[in-house]
Structure 1
Amino acid sequence: MFAVYNGRIDPVEHVSHFNQKMAVHANNEAVMCKVFPSSLSPVAMRWFDALEEASMGSFEELTRTFGARFITYSRVPKPLDSLIFMAMREGETLKTYSDRYWETDNEINGDFEDVAVRTFKVGLPAEHELRKLLTMKSALNMRQLMECIDKYKWVEEDQI
């Protein structure tokens, strides 16, 4: 039913997934607190079992304490520069570059769609056909950029 927290993943993500699974019980603090331990692996369960009885006043306090205990496993968002300075590597396919680019984009906190749309082109080699197209006719949003990329990925795959 639940993804088990193994002590090696982001505790915030774990709590978020737990909350999604328990959405119908979100207003029932007692149920949330009683079920939460069932989402913990033995390592995290030892932490939970060591808590003093009735030491948590709410589910929010429990999850905040949980997050503080396992903070070293929190995912640190990548800075925007990691996207800005990304470039297609020599011999890399458009598919591989775009997959790597979007993965990095997804790891950045904030809404930087306009930056992502504009900087994708800059990471392409100057002689790349997609870069030439995007220079002549800029994509206005992520959807348009993705459509252009998909078109050129198919062309590239046909040539291989």
Structure 2
Amino acid sequence: MAIYSQNEALMCKVFPSNLGPVAMRWFNSLKANSIGSYKQLTQTFCSRFITNSMVPRPLSSLLSLSMHEGETLKTYSDRYWEMYNEMDENHDDVAINTFKSGLLSEHGLRKSLTGKPVANVRQLMDRIGKYKRVEEDQLQGKGKEKIIPPKGNDYRSK
């Protein structure tokens, strides 16, 4: 798209294809000939939707996250990575340590990360994935009760 950035007419025609439903309603409500250039279109758009801008989260928001009693590893890690992705800067070393310290002290993953530390976020995510699969398997096992048919009621003998 960068090679067409000098073609304002094309940029204005392509612009709506990147909009979601709310922004598309706004775009469709613009009065005919109210926009004279692509620059004016982007400025008008930004001034209308400035409140939807994402403000990067500070490092302190990551430091305050912790796993709640009874919370699954999946739920905790989903919350954690959502917050991590909203941060503007790269804090991989802090991410590893704060994720571990946010886990419940008796959690197996915390013990694993203490005994065999990870070197980067990719390794941390891989280790979390392994523990999430074990957790999901255990949760599914709790829902399945062993059904033992009563003796003497063999449906095949009738």
Same-fold call, TM > 0.5? yes
Instruction: Structure 1: state its 5+ residue gaps.
Output: 1-21
| Superposed structure 1 runs of 4+ greater than 6 Å apart | none
Report the counterpart of residue 149 of structure 1 in structure 2: 128
The residue aligned with 2:67 is 88
Q: Name the aligned partner's letter for residue 80 of structure 2.
A: Y
- Tell me the distance in 2 between the aligned counterparts of 1:63 and 1:129: 50
5+ residue gaps in structure 2? 140-158
User: 1:41 maps to which residue?
Assistant: 24
Question: TM-score, with normalisation over the residues of structure 1?
Answer: 0.71
Higher relative contact order by CA 8 Å / sep ≥ 6: 1 or 2?
1
In structure 2, what residue type is equivalent to 1:85? S
Contact 1:26–1:32 (Cα < 8 Å) also in 2: yes
Q: Does 1:107 align with 2:89?
A: no
How many residues were matched structurally? 135
Amino acid at match of 1:113: D
Q: 1:159 to 1:108 in 2, by over 3 A?
A: same
Question: Counterparts in 2 of 1:1-160, with a 5 A limit?
Answer: 22=1, 25-37=4-16, 39=19, 41-46=24-29, 48-49=30-31, 52=34, 54=36, 56=37, 59-160=38-139
CA shift, 1:37, in A, is: 4.8
Q: CA deviation at 1:146?
A: 1.1
> Which whole-Å deviations, capped at 9, do the CAs of 1:112-156 have from their partners, x for residues lacking one?
222212210010011111111111221110111011111111222
Query: Rg bigger for which structure?
Result: 2
- Does structure 1 retain, via aligned residues, the 8 Å contact 2:35–2:41? no
- Normalising to structure 2: TM-score of the pair? 0.72
Aligned residues with identical type, % of pairs: 56
Confirm or deny: 8 A CA contact 1:77 1:108 kept in the other structure: yes
